[in-house]
A and B are shown apart, each in its own frame.
Chain A
Amino acid sequence: MASDSEDEDFVPGASDDDDEDEFPEIDTRSDSDDADTPDEDEDASDASSSSETLHVGPVGKTIISDITGRPKTVYPEIEPDYDSDSSTEDDPNRVGNVPMHWYDDMPHIGYNMEGQKVFKAAKGDELDKFLATVEDPTSWTSAFDKSLQSDKPLTPEELDIIKRLQAGENPDATYDPYEPTVEWFTGKGKEEVMPLSAAPEPKRRWVPSKWEKKKVLKIIRAIREGRIVPKNPKTAASQPKVYDLWGTPSSNQPPPLPAPKVKLPTNAESYNPPAEYLPSAEEKKEFEEADREDREREFLPQKYGALRLVPAYKDFIYERFSRQLDLYLAPRVQRKKLNIDPNSLIPQLPSPSSLKPFPCYRASKLSHGDRRVRAISVSPDGLWVISADEQGRVLLWETLVGRPVRTWQFKSKVGALEWCPRKDVCYFVVALEEQLHFLTPPHQPASIASLTHALLSPSVAPESKAASPSPIKWKAPEAGVLADDEKPLLTIELPQSSGLVKQIAWHRRGDYFATLSGTESHTSVWIHQTSKRHSQAPFKKVKGSVQRVAFHPLKPHFFVATQRYVRIYDLSAQELIKTLMPGIRWISSLDIHPSGDHLIVGGYDRRLCWFDLDLSSKPYKVLRYHARAIRSIQFHPVYPLFASSSDDGTVQVFHSRVFTDLMSDPLIVPLKVLRGHRTKDGLGVLEVKWNPAHPWLLSAGADGTVAVWSS
């Protein structure tokens, strides 16, 4: 084969030599040297095939000729073995390789070279066979010849092979398993010689090539004749249709950001992570229970004995998909990193310890049993506290000791109770459903007690000046009957079905007080005047349900908090002054700073808004620090403190300094979280009240306790 291919290769080369002008056709459009390369390749292969001697066929042995006495190459005899043609064998039957049973019904078994039939040898019967085995000594060394359909004795060589196979030996008789080693590379004179030849440089290395000269001449001739045009003029059509991707001038826009890189795997991602990365049982449980979004990482580190035991990653598709989503949806905007120390953004607040005193521990606790305490009130001198629970029990107790000294039991739930702020008289108002009772604590000095009695149950009732009959009745106990501590000195009956009174708000002077009932009508707010026994509803119509009311401490203003807004009315001019928009969804509480210029509003949506009333109708500060709804807030009347209570069972105390200087903003500093109330049925601390004389706080909880927090 090798010689065949060489022959074929040589054909074009020979033709080239013969006809120099027969130059292969040159592509006129190509000005590169590409067209020549196939020729050069051919040359190279020519050169290599001529220089190298390929030994594809049998290798000859060099022996000394007996005749000439010179070395000559002797090739081995070609043996007609498996891959050789066996047609030269002298087989009498020339039928070929066909199944012999085709001739089973014929008298002959095939044809010889001359085309004559070769007949079947006469086959003896079984007896002949037997006799043959007995008589003929060669019969057992004969075998059935298929092509001749007769037995044929085996040659001694074949018998030898069978004998060897039977003995388990190599069937080749010439094979010598114990041939002596032939020392090819060791021993004297057989040292390896470097392949670099010491032969002198061949001449062709420095003589200019005749072939190349011919080729160059041919090209020169072609150029002269104009067959080769160097450099075709370029036309528009011949221009390649490409555009410069990067050629456009860069815009002002920064280049698009590279996609965020996937985080590199860490030790935890290993199939055999260190033991400290392996999750404990509860971590595993927590991981499995958590939502996919809430998990800290996507996977759980796991240990495998070998890498081949690691199963396919089941989140692979999900992860790739989310990565694609991330890349697709990620905003490719470069954010300017703020180079600001985060600590400098935190306002410089004074430390709580420098703002003492404020309540910081529970000095005393009073239990109402299992009943929710809805309302507490502290006497104006700060000595006594009254608290009321949902089953109508009102307790009077001394602030620090906390032992009830007097109990009143009412038939219905107490909604609110409030001590009269006057100091020359001493009484408080307890609000039930549709009823307000005026009570006085025991053991009052004579001057105060007589004044109180003169005010609330005078011997001559003041004339009602109202022209039309009021729906509200002021009922005094019958004249002549001695006043008793147990019984109310005065009772106000609110109109029917006005519901439970939620709040009592006293005016600072202690003559007027406002009550707020639970119903959503314009008669839910009433303002009562104690000295004249006169009540009036200030509003003909109220938008929304009123949540909280309050008197301004200095001006004749009245604050009404509906679900969303706080409205300020001027009571003397009878007009709306301002509407505050705290942005709270449902207002729960409201209190006015004793200076009258600031207002705090708490909401069930956990927010607390601080308003500067001289400024806008939007809050100055919105604080959100409670975990649950705010229930009650109050400013301390003397100290710069306010407190808020929440359904999360905590009371939080804030320092709130208001400056008389108009330029400085109020300072609000969180001071203390007072914990101690249990939450019950989702209700925490329902009411907070300050002791007016000391920085002490009282809190009433849904767990039935009233706590006194002392500084």
Chain B
Amino acid sequence: MSSQPVVFTTRTSYTIPSQTYMLPNTWKRFQLSQLINKVLALLQPVPFDFLVRGELLRGSIADWCTERGVGEEETVEIEYIEATIPPQRAATLPHDDWVASISCAQADRFVTAAYDGNVRIFSSSQELLHTIPAHSAPVLSAAYISSSVIASSSHDRTARLTRLDENGTADTFASLVLHTAPVASISANTDGSRLLTASWDGLLGVWDTNEPDADEVPADTLEEKDRAKKRRRVEDAKPQPKRKAPLEVLKGHTGRVSQSAFAPGSSTEAYSCSFDSTVRAWDVRTGVCTRTIALSEKPFTALALPSNGTVIASSTDRTLSLLDVRSPNAVPASGFGHPSLPTSLAAHPSDGVRVVSGAADGVVRIWDVRSTKAAVSSFDLWRKDEKKVLGVSWGAGIIGVAGEGGVEIWRLRDSGVAA
């Protein structure tokens, strides 16, 4: 048995004295994890995963060294991260139709946007609280912007705001009118004062959340006719939502914008990704594109913001790209290869390194941005049924997955104490 000089580094709170360890090179993840736990003398054992040059250590150290051609005297730098324990299926929320997205951002509430035009709200006990017929066309995204207001975006080219009362009634009070194509995503900043919509027509709209007093935008003649006809037919006396105009229109994308989001904790900085293979950073106040990161032939389908200043975006070439939007010369890290089209992305709410991706093959994968080669963990929802995953969301300790087969909630036990 020979040994390998090893230096341990970490970005977690579990730091051990920095020195070179001579470790038997037959050791695997389990022994290394035990070693860290012993050195730290933790009361509660914490499982760790080990990254060697951006790669998760799957076999023994000797295996890794022979594969990479690393000699026995070379010092290997091993970074350790808290291990991700494979998630468990917690609940299934039944839907009749495909579900385009799910949001778990609000505690104890799940908002789903379905292709039948309804936004549904479930409690954490899987109870259907509201069914909001906000749109007449498939809803593409929905999210809580405050504890009582829900925003949704749809194929019918509008985004709508719905207020929920305590007595269980839902009132769609505003229709955001700007886009000439389906609105792919709607998102709010942290305090819920600004909304950002991304549409297939290449525009981004910035909106406030106030209820307009009157229609700010004149109605389309044809829509008016449609509505008149519908009213005649359905005898629906409900007042129509007020038509609301955007505060700012962000122009710059030449292709369909697939997703946009505010930077965490900011209401001025926003990011968007598009099918024109660019990721853009915006100053929302002035409506100026502050930065454009163009990659070649990567139509982006979704983006997530794992930490401040980094954007991870999935593209149709079945990879994820990790972009540093702060430093202008940073080379985007690519990798994270999927066997199928990644359709959606979500970042861990707090830890800044983990993202979850849903793919068209019905498998959801959890990635650590430091390990570009292989997923940290993956779980199979609908691979056998060939059903697509269309939306993922990472709440506190849970991952919500929406797609062709409805909605599933998976519980992810966070191994360590939140840093």
Contacts and interface: CB of A to CB of B under 8 A. Distances in A.
Interface of A: 356-357, 361, 363-365, 383, 398, 400-403, 405, 442-443, 445-450, 453, 482, 693-696, 710-711
Contacts of B301: 400
Nearest to A696: B316
12 contacts: A356-B297, A361-B340, A363-B316, A363-B340, A401-B98, A401-B343, A403-B98, A445-B181, A446-B220, A447-B180, A482-B229, A694-B299
Contact of A401 (B297, B316, B390): B390
Contacts of B275: 693-694
B297 A405 contact: no
Given A400-B301, A453-B222, A405 B138 contact: yes
A693 B221 contact: no
Contact of B137 (A357, A365, A442): A442
Contacts of B225: 482
B324 interface: no
A383 B340 contact: no
A364 B388 contact: yes
A361 B156 CA distance: 30
A365 B297 CA distance: 22
A448 B220 CA distance: 11
A357 B297 contact: yes
A405 B154 CA distance: 12
B357 to A, nearest CB: 15
A597 to B, nearest CB: 26
Nearest to B155: A443
Contacts of A449: 220, 222
Interface in B48-75: none
A446 B222 contact: yes
B137 A400 contact: no
B192 interface: no
B182 to A, nearest CB: 7
B222 A443 contact: no
Interface string B130-147: 000000011000000000
Interface in B16-51: none
Contacts of B216: none
B200 A383 contact: yes
Nearest to A364: B360
B220 A383 contact: no
Contacts of B367: none
B98 A364 contact: no
Nearest to B299: A694
A117 B119 CA distance: 158
A450 B221 CA distance: 8
B108 interface: no
B157 A403 contact: no
Contacts, number: 72
A401 B157 CA distance: 17
* Closest 3 pairs between A and B when the two form their complex, measured CB to CB: A446-B220, A445-B180, A363-B341
B223 A361 contact: no
A319 B180 CA distance: 81
Nearest to A694: B299
A450 B222 CA distance: 7
Main secondary structure of the interface of A (DSSP, over half): loop
B386 interface: yes
Contacts of B137: 405, 442-443
Given A363-B341, A450-B221, A401 B155 contact: no
Contact of A400 (B182, B316, B318): B316
A445 B256 contact: no
B221 A383 contact: no
Contact of A710 (B100, B181, B341): B341
Interface in B295-343: 297, 299, 301, 316-318, 340-341, 343
B255 interface: yes
Greatest chain A CB density within 10 A among B156, B256, B360 is at B360
A400 B341 contact: yes
Contact of B221 (A403, A446, A711): A446
A711 B316 contact: yes
A375 to B, nearest CB: 23
A445 B179 CA distance: 8
Contacts of A453: 222
Interface in B170-185: 180-182
Nearest to A452: B222
Given A443-B182, A446-B221, A405 B155 contact: yes
Given A361-B318, A446-B222, 5 more contacts: A357-B317, A401-B100, A403-B115, A403-B138, A453-B222
B153 to A, nearest CB: 13
A383 B138 CA distance: 15
Contacts of B221: 446, 450
Given A405-B138, A442-B137, A443-B157, A711 B341 contact: no
Given A449-B222, A482-B229, A711 B317 contact: yes
Contacts of B341: 361, 363-364, 400, 710
Contacts of A696: 316
B88 to A, nearest CB: 28
Nearest to B403: A401
A710 B316 contact: yes
Contacts of A445: 157, 180-181, 220
Contacts of B223: 446
Contacts of B360: 363-364
Contacts of A448: 180
B147 to A, nearest CB: 31
B181 A383 contact: yes
Contacts of B318: 361
A467 B299 CA distance: 53
> Which of A365, A401, A448, A450 has the largest count of B CB atoms less than 10 A from its CB?
A401
B156 A383 contact: no
A364 B388 CA distance: 8
A579 B156 CA distance: 49
Nearest to B229: A482
Contacts of B156: 443
A7 B242 CA distance: 157
B179 to A, nearest CB: 8
Nearest to A453: B222
Contacts of A364: 341, 360, 388
Contacts of A363: 316, 340-341, 360
A400 B229 CA distance: 33
A446 B227 CA distance: 13
A435 B292 CA distance: 49
A422 B309 CA distance: 41
Nearest to A401: B390
Contacts of B343: 400-401
B326 to A, nearest CB: 29
B159 to A, nearest CB: 13
Contact of B256 (A356, A383, A695, A710): A383
A696 B341 CA distance: 13
Contacts of A356: 297
Interface string B79-103: 0000000000000000000101000
Contacts of A710: 316-317, 341
A427 B343 CA distance: 28
B344 to A, nearest CB: 11
A694 B258 CA distance: 15
B212 to A, nearest CB: 19
Nearest to B338: A361
Nearest to A710: B316
Most buried by B among A365, A383, A443, A694: A443
B388 A401 contact: yes
A453 B225 CA distance: 13
Contacts of A695: 297
Contacts of B386: 365
A693 B255 contact: yes
A711 B390 CA distance: 19
Interface string B111-142: 00001000000000000000000000110000
Contacts of B404: 403
Contacts of B256: 383
